Structures are given as structure tokens and as C-alpha cells.
Amino acid sequence: MFPLRSLILCVCVLLAGCGERAWNDPYPGDPRVANTLYTSFRDPPKHLDPARSYAANEWIFISQIYEPPLQYHYLKRPHQLMPALSASMPTVRPLSASGYEVWGDVKPAQTVYEIRIPKGVRYQPHPAFADNGSVDDLLDPARLLAQPDRELIAEDLVYQIKRLAHPALASPIYGLMSEYITGLGAYRDTLEAAWAKQGRAGWLDLRQFPLAGAEVVDRYTLRIHIDGSYPQFIYWLATPFFAPIPWEADRFYARPGMAERNLSLDTHPIGSGPYLLLESDPNRRITLARNPNWHGETYPVAGPPDLLADAGKALPFIDRAVYTLEKESIPYWGKFLQGWYDHSGISSDSFDSAVAIGASGDVQVTEAMQAKGIKLQTETESSIFYLGFNWLDPVVGGDAESARLLRRALAIAVDYEEFIAIFRNGRGIAAQGPLAPGIAGYREGEAGINPMTHEWVDGHPQRRALAEARELLAQAGYADGVDPLTGKPLLLYLDAAASSGPDSKAMLDWWRKQIAKLGLRLVVRDTDYNRFQDKMRKGQAQLFQWGWNADYPDPENFLFLFYGPNGKAAHGGENAANYANPEFDALFERMKDLPNGDDRQAVIDRMVGILREDVPWLFGFHPVEFRLNHAWLYNVKPNLIARNTLKYQRVDAEARAAATGAWNRPVLWPLSGLLIGLLVLVAPGWWALRQRERRVGVEEA
């Protein structure tokens, strides 16, 4: 028995070595009490370069690191723009072709945005600014903070606009911006020639090539020229695409050996925002730390009273933010409950345990969560998930009356309220039209319901009865769902970019059930996402499931999804349904340039009305984001248009250390149970062996 005893001794020694720290503390290297935010990310970011990054999982990082000219107010809803880097809101001047300012209904030939930045703003420390900064200066956190910096000037903003056209960067918004920013298309050709000449490698100094649409007025002022007018451009100035980049960054990362070590702006940004990237391992964890050079800002003084405790105080509050890669939902949720993550989005499957709908329909966390001090925040996303009909399809698409009736029947039959209940646990609202709540032009209440699919009953929208859908289907010529041509149920094809995710089977089953309610049959063709995109591009789908996430809070960003000239199959635009309606297109062109107000609302109402009658989409739902925060995290307000929220948040590290310590005492008795069980098993064996040895001994003797 001696080895067992020494084993127990060993274990005890090891445990003693653990000290105060919980056994399951996933941050063994960090001090127990530190002004640090712990959170997670699910998908490793591919691009942190603000010219290329166009995904939410990347913007949660770079929005803290880069600072574009504008930002959205943290607390106000509907969203409101305010200056971030720029000293004030940019001045906008519509000009005629001869350069004079124009007013009223006159179509301007160009629009000029003038942005002024304050003096003395500095970049984060970075070896790119040193004469011969080394890789170690970049990778060693202590050395990184000791690196030089430099002042931010207007030319850096121009430099980044030029980068949007860089052939090697393939910026996702280059296509869009080249339609608006004066000379950006031609600039691409210039760069392409120069890039090819230097062998498509190395550093292309964009400062040598002037861009007509982005002009440096003085050290702290720049002007951006837009062809014609594009009122929505101002929203783009609040995205990382227009954040300043120092030319030294490109020079630094173009050095030989950098790419081989995965060092580039995609992994190690150089920004001027409140945080800088301290450690970057997208496969493991990403650490941000307070940027010592940030120009500073104060917490907003207007907003909901419960979020104003820190009003007027200097930002940021948190020193460090640790993002850990967490791909599986079981560990993710488990760690949140144990207190190792400060906040959590809720996956649908943990919802019941976390949230209860109160007697009056208000949402609150359950008692078990309240006991832990967990708080809930909700916000409707500016997104829509929908089922599109391909306008080019002979059965479901186009202007024919039978196809329209079929679509309208489906619009009633597909019960998105049930979808939300099952797959999103109520975290969504059924869409009555394309516009998400909080967007100008969205109508609330009875005025906002879709009369084709819903009725207003007892102060709530209620889906119309299935009988009405059957009636419409019969009018369309498919009585009981039977296709008169074949005598069999009409077959419909749904293209879905189904992941192999655990939920996808259930979701496909649900879709079949919906269509079967009308007696139709649905064949789901789930493909991987790029096949799906390819199909969409060629206009080969019949029904398809997709979503849209707004870039900025303006109705134009939703309604352009139906604009004929944006047709995906014909023009490669974002109108995936290939919907085309001349009346709608004309209204869209008017609406685009109108300022928010009654005029615009009237046009939008008409446009939404047309869409409801034509049904190019089944308006699915607008997701609602629920976020749970532990009691020690303050000033949290989900914001899905802007992601630069880290600087406003505050943690109470003492409270967290106390809570995680109390919640994570190891449970040991099952282990001793296991040990006893093993002994019970081994003991008779031991005894049997002794018996046999004795017997063998006897036999041999």
C-alpha cells in the first residue's frame, strides 16, 4: 500500500501549492485582483486591418484600437453621431460643377466634407515609429509600451482612404466607395500599375500618388470630395474604414520576414484609440491594454439614469481586456456561470436558465441568476433575417398574379413567431417590414403591422389564420398544394447556407413543417456558404434564407436591398432577390436624398407598402441581443451599430475576486467515493490472488 500513500501525499503537496486561487481559475498567470475585463471571442479575427476588416468579430477589437473621425453616442437611441477623433462634426458643402455652393432642390455636382482634427493627438507607442524598431519591440509587451510615437495629422486620414484602393488589400468597401469618392476608381488603376511595376510585393508609398477625392488642406484639416451627393457617407466616417493609419505602419510591416511570422496590420494594429493591442494570438487569446497616449474623453452626461453613475468621469476605466478564444458553447456558458467571463451573450439554449419573462411581459433574469447578481441588457439589432424569393424564378418569382398569391400564402403560413420561440427563445421580434426598429422610417404599433400577414388583436400583432393562406393558395391555382401540371404536391426548393452546426437539422425540419402546412413539399438544399453565395450570384436559387446587418442606422441601408439596379444576378449588387419594380426604384431614388422627416416617412411608407404587396421576401425577424453581466461590471449598454464600447465599461475587481473565490470551491467527495470504489474492486482481486498463490504453492509442493 505504500505507493498509494505517497500518491496521496503528492496530491496534497500539489494542492497546498495552489494557495488561495481556485483550482479551475483559467487565468493562473494574472493577479487575482486586477482592473481587467475578461471576455471571450468565438471566431478568430482574420483581419484587424481597418481597410479590410468587415466582420463583427473583428470590429470588437479594432473599434477599441482605431478611432475614426466620428462615433455614435453611447447612450442615446435612436443612434446619434458625434465627434470622436475629429474636433467637431464635419462641415458638408454641396457644390455645383463650377464649384459654387448650391441649395434647395438643385442636384449638386459634388459634395465636400471638411474634417478638422485637434492638435496634439498622438498614436500609440509602436516600433514602426522608431528608426530601427525590431520584432521583439513589438512582441514583448513591456518593450512595446516603451516605443516612440508620433503626432496624428490629417495626412494619415487621407493615407487610409488611399489604402482602400490598394490592390493588395482588396478592401470590401472599395467597390462602393469608388462610386462616390472622386477619382478613387482611377486611383486604383494608378496603384495597380505601380504595384505591378514593383513586383506586387514590398511597400508602396501611397503618399507619392495624389488622390483627387481626398485632399489635405493643412496639417490638421482634410477635405473629402464626393461625386454628386451621398448623404449616407457621413455614417461611413464612423466606421474603422476611415480611421487614420500612419504610413510608417505599412513600411514597417513590409519588411522582409514579417509576413512569415504573421506580423502585419491584420494581427498587430497601430491605432490612436483608447486601447492598444498588447498581445495578439488569434488562436488563443488577445489582450488589449490602455493606450497611454489617447487624447481622452469623458463619460456621457445624457442618457438613461441608471447608466449615469459615472457621468463626466474620464474614460477609459478598464486597464486591460483579455479576450479568450472559446469555440464550444458548453465551456463558454460554464465559465460564465463560474464567473470567469464578465459578460456573456446568451445562446438560445441557456436562455431558460437565465431569463424569465415577468408577469407583465418584462424580461428579467431568473431568481437563480439574480442570486448571483447577474444583470440583463437587451437591444434590438439593426438586422433582419429573411426568406427571399428569387424574382427570376418562374414558379415563385416575378410579377405574375399566381406567383404573388403563392408568396402571400407562404407569408402567412411561415410562422416566424414560432421560429423565434423555438430557435431564439424569444430573442427576436417578428418583422413587419424590412426596416429594423430604431431606424428612421420604422413604424411602431398598429400603424407598423403588415396587413398582408398580421392583424391587430388586443394590442398585439397576430398572424393571420392558416385558412386565409390556403384560400390564397387556391386562388394561385394550387388547391391543397397540388400542382395542376403534375398532379403532385408542388415542390419548392430552399437554398440555405446551413452550417454543420448542432441546430441545423432541427431548423431544416422546422422549415419543412411550415411549408407542409399548406400541402406543399420543400426540398432543402443546404450547401456550404460559398456555394450558396455562388448560387445567389448566378440567381439560381428559388427560396433562400439570408440576413442583412445594417452598416449604419439609415433606412437607405435596408431599402437598397430591393433597388432594381442593385440586382445581384444582373449587377452583382446586394439585391439578392433580384427584385425589380420601377415604381419602387423611383421612390428609392427620391428617398435616398431626403432628410429624415415627414416627407421621407411618407415615401418610405409607400415603399414598404409596395414590398408588402409584392412579397419579394418573407420578412423574418429582427434579432434581439440579450447580454448578461455579472454584478461587478458596470456601464454596459449593448450597441450593435458601434462597437467601441470598451472604454465606457468599468469593473469592480475586488467584488469579482470575492465572488469567483466563493463560487469555485472544488467538490471533492466524489473523488474519495471513486477511490473507495476502486479499493472495493481491487481488494477481492488481491484476496483471490493470495488464495491462488497459496494453492499453486500447495500443488507444486
Partner 1 sequence: MGAYLIRRLLYAIPILIGVNLLTFALFFLVNSPDDMARAHLGNKRVTAEAVEAWKRERGYNRPLLYNAGRDGIERVTDTLFFTKSIRLFVFDFGQADSGRAIADDIRQRAPPSLALAVPTFVIGLLLNVTLALGIVLFRASVLDWLGQIGLVALMSVSSLFYIIAGQYLFGKLMRLAPISGYVDGWEAWRFLVLPIAVGVIAGIGAGVRWYRSLFLEEIGKDYVRTARAKGLGEAQVLVGHVLRNALIPILTGAVVLLPLLFLGSLIMESFFGIPGLGSYTIEGIQAQDFAIVRAMVFLGAVLYILGLLLTDIAYTLVDPRVRL
Partner 2 sequence: MSGASAWQLAPLWTDYLLWLLVLAVALTIAYVRRQPHLRAPWRQVGRSGTGMVAALVLMAYVGIGLLDSVHLTSDRGAVVSVLDLCLSDLRDRTETTYSAPLATHSASLESMTDKDGNTVRAAPRLRYGGAHLGAPAQQRNADLRDRALLGIAKAVALWLAIAVVMLIWRRRLGSDGFPMRRVLGTLLVMALMIGVLREWADGYHVFGTDKVGQDVLYLSLKSVRTGLMIGLLTTLVMLPLAMVLGIAAGYFRGWVDDLIQYLYTTLSSIPSVLLIAAAVLMMQVTMSNHPEWFDSLESRADLRLLFLCVILGVTSWTGLCRLLRAETLKLREADYVEAARAAGVGPLRILSRHIAPNVMHIVLIQVTLDFSALVLAEAVLSYVGVGVDPSTPSWGNMINAARLELAREPVVWWSLSAAFAFMFTLVLAANLFADQVREAFDPRRRA
Q: Which is nearer to partner 1, 5 or 665 (CB)?
A: 665
CA distances from 199 to 162, 193, 265 (A): 20, 10, 21
Cβ pair 37, 342 in contact under 8 A:
yes
- Give the 3-state secondary structure of 109-165: CEEEEEEECCCCCECCCCHHHCCCCCHHHHHCHHHHHCCCCCECCHHHHHHHHHHCC
* 345 touching partner 1, by CB under 8 A: no
Residues 402-431 as x/- pattern, contact with partner 2 by CB under 8 A: ----------------x--xxx-x------
Binder of partner 2 out of 526, 551, 556, 614 (CB under 8 A): 526
Question: How many whole angstroms separate alpha carbon 50 and alpha carbon 490?
Answer: 48
Task: Give me the least distance between CB of 512 and partner 2, in Å please.
Answer: 8
Task: Give me the least distance between CB of 695 and partner 2, in Å please.
Answer: 26
Task: Give me the least distance between CB of 511 and partner 2, in Å please.
Answer: 10
Stretch of 230-238, 293-301, 371-379, 658-666 contacting partner 1, by CB under 8 A: 658-666
Give φ, ψ of 611 to 5 degrees. -65, -40
* 43 touching partner 2, by CB under 8 A: no
Question: How many whole angstroms separate alpha carbon 23 and alpha carbon 378?
Answer: 33
* 531 touching partner 2, by CB under 8 A: yes
Stretch of 202-210, 502-510, 592-600, 682-690 contacting partner 2, by CB under 8 A: 502-510
Binder of partner 1 out of 91, 96, 262, 298 (CB under 8 A): 262
Residues 280-299 that bind partner 1 (CB under 8 A): 281, 283-284
Number of residues binding to partner 2, judged by CB under 8 A: 49
Binder of partner 2 out of 35, 147, 347, 549 (CB under 8 A): 347
- Give the 3-state secondary structure of 202-225: CCCCHHHCCCCCEEEEECCEEEEE
Give φ, ψ of 273 to 5 degrees. -80, -170
Task: Give me the least distance between CB of 534 and partner 1, in Å please.
Answer: 7
Question: How many whole angstroms separate alpha carbon 684 and alpha carbon 353?
Answer: 45
Q: Which is nearer to partner 2, 163 or 424 (CB)?
A: 424
Binder of partner 2 out of 73, 510, 574, 627 (CB under 8 A): 510
Residues 484-523 that bind partner 1 (CB under 8 A): 500
If contact means CB under 5 to 8 A according to the sort of partner, which of partner 2, partner 1, none does residue 350 touch?
A: partner 2
Question: How many whole angstroms separate alpha carbon 672 and alpha carbon 670?
Answer: 5
* 54 touching partner 1, by CB under 8 A: yes
If contact means CB under 5 to 8 A according to the sort of partner, which of partner 1, partner 2, none does residue 676 touch?
A: none
Give φ, ψ of 633 to 5 degrees. -105, 130
∠ at Cα 308 (302, 310), nearest 5°? 120
* Burial category of 108 from C-beta neighbours within 10 Å (exposed 0-12, middle 13-18, buried 19 and up): buried
* 352 touching partner 2, by CB under 8 A: yes
Phi-psi region of 347 (alpha: psi -120 to 50; beta: other; left: phi over 0): beta
Cβ pair 550, 561 in contact under 8 A:
no
* 506 touching partner 2, by CB under 8 A: yes
Task: Give me the least distance between CB of 688 and partner 2, in Å please.
Answer: 22
Question: How many whole angstroms separate alpha carbon 672 and alpha carbon 668?
Answer: 7
Question: With DSSP H G I counted as helix, E B as strand and the rest as coil, what are the percentages for the chain, rounded to 5?
Answer: 40, 20, 45
Question: How many whole angstroms separate alpha carbon 147 and alpha carbon 142?
Answer: 9
CA 4 centroid distance within chain: 53
CA distances from 14 to 8, 171, 177, 226 (A): 10, 53, 61, 67
If contact means CB under 5 to 8 A according to the sort of partner, which of partner 1, partner 2, none does residue 529 touch?
A: partner 1
Question: How many whole angstroms separate alpha carbon 266 and alpha carbon 169?
Answer: 10
Binder of partner 1 out of 131, 218, 260, 362 (CB under 8 A): 260
Stretch of 170-178, 205-213, 322-330, 432-440 contacting partner 2, by CB under 8 A: 322-330
Task: Give me the least distance between CB of 83 and partner 1, in Å please.
Answer: 27
Residues 371-430 that bind partner 1 (CB under 8 A): none
* 168 touching partner 1, by CB under 8 A: yes
* Nearest residue to 414 (alpha-carbon basis) of 516, 544, 561: 516
Q: Which is nearer to partner 1, 360 or 672 (CB)?
A: 672
3-class secondary structure, 527: coil
Q: Which is nearer to partner 1, 331 or 445 (CB)?
A: 331
521-552: b (≥16 Cβ within 10 Å) or e? bbebbbeeeeebeebbeebebbbbbbebbbbb
Catalog residues that contact partner 1 under the rule CB under 8 A. Answer: 22-29, 44, 46-47, 54-55, 167-168, 170, 172-176, 200, 259-262, 266-267, 281, 283-284, 324-328, 330-331, 334-335, 338, 340, 500, 528-531, 533-534, 549, 551, 572, 574, 664-668, 670-671, 684-685, 688-689, 692-693, 696, 700
Catalog residues that contact partner 2 under the rule CB under 8 A. Answer: 328-330, 332-334, 347-350, 352-354, 356-361, 418, 421-423, 425, 488-489, 493, 498-500, 502-506, 508-510, 512-513, 521-528, 531
